[in-house]
Structure 1
Amino acid sequence: MSTLPPGGSVCLVCNGPGELSTWVRPLAEALHEAMPLRPRAEQASLALDLVLVPCPNATGREHHVASDMGLFRRVTPARVFWRLLCRPGRWGPWPRHGVVVFLGGDQFWTVLLSARLGYRHLTYAEWIARWPRWNDRIAAMSSQAQQRLPPRWRNRCTVVGDLMADLPASARRSQPLPEGEWVALLPGSKRAKLRVGVPFLMETADRLAARRPGCRFLLPLAPTVAVEDLLEQAGPSNPIARAYGTGPLQPDGAMPWCLLLRTAAGTTVHVIRSHPAHASLSQCALALTTVGANTAELGALGVPMLVLVPTQHLEVMQAWDGWLGLIARLPLLRRLLGVALTAWRMRHRGLLAWPNISAGRMVVPERVGAITPEQIAAEADDWLSAPARLQGMRDDLRSLRGQPGAVAALRQMVLELLPPAAAGP
């Protein structure tokens, strides 16, 4: 390998837990494999950094999760982003040369950051690149995203594919689950979703277990969620839990690969704390999930799903994007405006699950409204009793996934933007 320059940084930019696990981690691992980078290579001249940017849907724990990955020399929390722009030196030295890579959030933040640091700028555009004039390169998920660019900027764009297509499908063979019919429960990662999702899905599990005694339940924790959060949201401190019949969750021991929780009705839920849980999720026959990045993960893994949005608790479902979502969180307006905003979004919602958005049609069922655990348990039972239908959904999801290789292609674009000596021979 050729001599490295005096110093440099590859700075990844992200906003939330879904992007951290599905976009940031795979690219960071690939970059470490391609060349020596701090912190894994202590003597390397190049460093891998992460900057988290403001996002109304973030949990506030993202910087802890990212730090625990052991992939980054420095993780800058979202709460100091504006101070970072004003005085970058307060958060340590920044080398003269570097690349800023957008991997989630508002694309304008990376425009500002790359300009402030004097670094080159690469955007991964899932649907559209909003600031092509200030992008040195654009990595598009699809040709449709490329065609949305004004013609004068298309020569900066390369179609790399869907980063989610590189999720480890082979992990199923290396980490098999115990025998049984497994159903995944994904209540979300944000507090507003957990308040509804945990009690709703626990009662659904109870009712599905009564219909199918051999059914087993898997709950992979999002990286920003702790077991204590599940216990809290299923307990008396969550007023919404009183509307459901599951009762408090109780710890019920552990297995080498999971913790066990038990509902008041006696249903066992296997909780996986290690992340990502792709190996286990890929073996589930069906998933019951909220909306969000988890629907993209499930789709990439080819796991059939029912996407659930119970609207009978609108006053706590304020996890929306943009300035209206911020207003809905103001103390004096939270309840009134939050209810009005969410009700409006539900009426004008379009498609919610990422596989459906990607396909432009209903690939996986979306159940939105005053749905009940009994209704969802009955529908899940119908799907599980029809293996051919499940396989059809699985095949549709795999057809949307695309070919693997997007992570390697994006890594190559990062290397091309580095000074020649930094990218190796």
Structure 2
Amino acid sequence: MSEPRGPGPSRAPARLSIVFVSNGPGELATWVRPLAEQLHRSLQLRPRAQQSLISLRLVLVPCPNATGQEADAASRWGQFDRITPARRFWRMLLNPRLEGPWAPQGVVVFLGGDQFWSVLLSARLGYRHITYAEWVARWPRWNDRLAAMGPAVLEQLPQRFRSRCTVVGDLMADLSSHARAQAPLPDGEWVALLPGSKAAKLAVGVPFLLDTADRLAARRPGCRFLLPVAPTTSAAALERFAGSTNPIAAAYTSGIARLEPPTERCPWRRLITTAGTEIHLQEDPPAHGPLSQCALALTTVGANTAELGALGVPMIVIVPTQHLGVMQAWDGWLGLLARLPGLRWCIGALLSAWRLRNHGFLAWPNISAGRAVVPERVGAIQPEAIAAEADDWLASPSRLQGQRDDLRSLRGQPGAVAALANEVRSLLPKALAD
């Protein structure tokens, strides 16, 4: 993997570093990248501005929800002077100089993972510290500033720390305004397929959604399909998960017959299923523009449900629990237990039964609203049932518009990325921030 390196001989050492701390692919796409772009515009950071005295670095932290490909994906953006992969986090914490020179002053910005990792890093480097808190700010005492998604974060803080907190809004609220500036999709009724980004989710999601697409195409011959390829996976990985090396694929009737190159009529590569269904691959993430134009999305759980909600895209969230692989993709301690060697089958079965009884809401729009805004289908679900439900939604534009309106009402106003960038700038020495 090629990673941006520290200052070369042609430029002066950085006098200040802004260090992003993050974890998984969802946070990178929806929090890290937009804020990095905003700071590059307002501060002229390295590596884009070669002579800048401010460097932008990314530190990835250990996380069970990460894929291991995050550093490689982020390096392709050309945003960061240096990227530290999660596997080197502890080594770097013990001896920061192993990750190259550090500026004498800096700001650590928490953008995903366990908030304690950024507390440790800022203390180790002697940098100032700001946390973007989505639901709760866990370590206000060790933060110079807190940037809250909503007022609930501020209200949970002890009174003595509230002066440190500013409500900046939902970073994902800016996604839709950026998406509208992108080129329109070709004409047609577009359905997005989001099988996930982690191997455990892809093992289930790819064969399940290929089968569903075939069945929906048979019901609605004019339907067109878009599959945004996550930055931490590839078309070759999709083919592998749809093939014989994935034992779960044998439970489904569909597969991938071939991969077609782009044409003048179609700017993207296409997967052609064994039933002849065309699935267009969007391989230049983020796919917010094309996604925002889809009539409906069929998606796994995870950060993608938050992205779709921010874009106002109606969705059906699917969790087929007949496959233990989906258990191993769960977040938090449930997923960790399901991955224990030797015990995983027993624990997975018990967790599956418990989760089906007590799962609560799984999709981010539902969690945020505290009610069922989007349908969640959890259990031994089958592609035919999801295809039939998708057909019903697509046949009722007023229902789709109702879900779209509900999602937009949850999104909040744009401007959170610029507001967070201003909070970061407020922690910089005035001479460098101006």
Bin of the TM-score, shorter chain as denominator length: over 0.9
Alignment deviations for residues 281-303 of structure 1 (CA, whole Å, 9 cap, x no partner): 01100000000010011011100
Choose 246-255 or 150-159, whichever is displaced more: 246-255
Q: Distance in 1 between matches of 2:154 and 2:356?
A: 30
In 2, are the aligned partners of 1:168 and 1:278 still within 8 Å (CA)? Answer: yes
Q: Distance in 1 between matches of 2:208 and 2:108?
A: 41
Q: Which residue of 1 aligns with 2:213?
A: 205
Please give the secondary structure, in 1, of the residue aligned with 2:317: strand
User: Which runs of structure 1 show a deviation greater than 4 angstroms over 4 or more consecutive aligned residues?
Assistant: none
Q: Which residue of 2 aligns with 1:76?
A: 84
Deviation at 1:154, TM superposition (A): 1.1
- Alignment of 1:339 onto 2:352: no
Q: Which residue of 1 aligns with 2:308?
A: 298
Alignment deviations for residues 351-401 of structure 1 (CA, whole Å, 9 cap, x no partner): 111111111111011111111110000000000000001001001111111
5+ long unaligned stretches in structure 2: 1-11
Q: Which residue of 1 aligns with 2:222?
A: 214
In 2, are the aligned partners of 1:315 and 1:339 still within 8 Å (CA)? Answer: no
In 2, are the aligned partners of 1:13 and 1:110 still within 8 Å (CA)? Answer: yes
- Alignment of 1:276 onto 2:292: no
Deviation at 1:155, TM superposition (A): 1.2
Q: Which residue of 1 aligns with 2:358?
A: 348
Please give the secondary structure, in 1, of the residue aligned with 2:227: strand
In 2, are the aligned partners of 1:11 and 1:49 still within 8 Å (CA)? Answer: yes
Instruction: Give the residue type in structure 2 aligned to 1:187.
Output: P
- Given candidates 91, 103, 115, the residue that maps to 1:107 is 115
Please give the secondary structure, in 1, of the residue aligned with 2:409: helix
- Alignment of 1:153 onto 2:161: yes
Deviation at 1:422, TM superposition (A): 1.4
Identical positions, percent: 69
Deviation at 1:148, TM superposition (A): 1.4
1:315–1:268 CA distance, 2 compared to 1 (3 A): closer
Instruction: Give the residue type in structure 2 aligned to 1:414.
Output: V
1:316–1:300 CA distance, 2 compared to 1 (3 A): closer
Please give the secondary structure, in 1, of the residue aligned with 2:256: coil
Q: Distance in 1 between matches of 2:60 and 2:352?
A: 27
Task: State the number of aligned residues.
Answer: 421
5+ long unaligned stretches in structure 1: none
Choose 332-341 or 115-124, whichever is displaced more: 332-341
Please give the secondary structure, in 2, of the residue aligned with 1:13: strand
- Given candidates 250, 253, 258, the residue that maps to 1:242 is 250
Q: Which residue of 2 aligns with 1:178?
A: 186
- Structure-to-structure mapping, 1:61-72, within 5 angstroms: 61-72=69-80
- Structure-to-structure mapping, 1:244-263, within 5 angstroms: 244-255=252-263, 257-263=267-273
Q: Which residue of 2 aligns with 1:322?
A: 332
- Structure-to-structure mapping, 1:350-365, within 5 angstroms: 350-365=360-375
- Alignment of 1:373 onto 2:388: no
Choose 315-324 or 359-368, whichever is displaced more: 315-324
Q: Which residue of 2 aligns with 1:421?
A: 431
Q: Which residue of 2 aligns with 1:37?
A: 45
Q: What is the Cα-based RMSD across aligned positions, in Å?
A: 1.5
TM-score normalised by L of structure 2: 0.94
Q: Distance in 2 between matches of 1:121 and 1:97?
A: 11
Q: Distance in 1 between matches of 2:277 and 2:257?
A: 10
Deviation at 1:149, TM superposition (A): 1.3
Choose 256-265 or 121-130, whichever is displaced more: 256-265
TM-score normalised by L of structure 1: 0.96
